[in-house]
Amino acid sequence: DAKTTQPNSMESNEEEPVHLPCNHSTISGTDYIHWYRQLPSQGPEYVIHGLTSNVNNRMASLAIAEDRKSSTLILHRATLRDAAVYYCILRRWGTGANNLFFGTGTRLTVIP
């Protein structure tokens, strides 16, 4: 499975935008880019996913580079509730089991 690389930690001020980067230089054509987050003492929570085009939902936006070798999760206005570990994961579409393989993610600290 293709690997992703994320910074170990990032900080943001409350109510400011946050850009969380992810590198996935070995991505294949059928790999979707997924983002999950894990709040303290909780299970991971789905945030957003995309294939080639930028995606928006109520939680965040996902910007995907034209060559798909990197992506950025954008939180438009960070709140204290957004403090979590954010995981960037590649999920291959197709036959067979399509498991999620987690790295260590980026720990986001939101400063009041």
Q: Where are the alpha helices (DSSP H) in the chain?
A: none
Q: Quick one: which of 11, 25, 46, 80 contacts another protein (CB under 8 A)?
A: 46
User: Could you give the CA distance from residue 110 to residue 103 in angstroms, rounded to a whole number?
Assistant: 21
Q: Quick one: which of 29, 40, 58, 104 contacts another protein (CB under 8 A)?
A: 104
**Any contact of residue 86 with another protein (CB under 8 A)?**
no
Residues near another protein (CB under 8 A), total: 24
For 83-106, letters b (16+ CB in 10 Å) and e give bbbbbbbbbbeeeeeeeeeeeebb
Nearer to another protein, 13 or 30 (CB): 30
The residue ranges that bind another protein (CB under 8 A) are 32, 34, 36, 41-46, 49, 87, 91, 93-95, 97-105
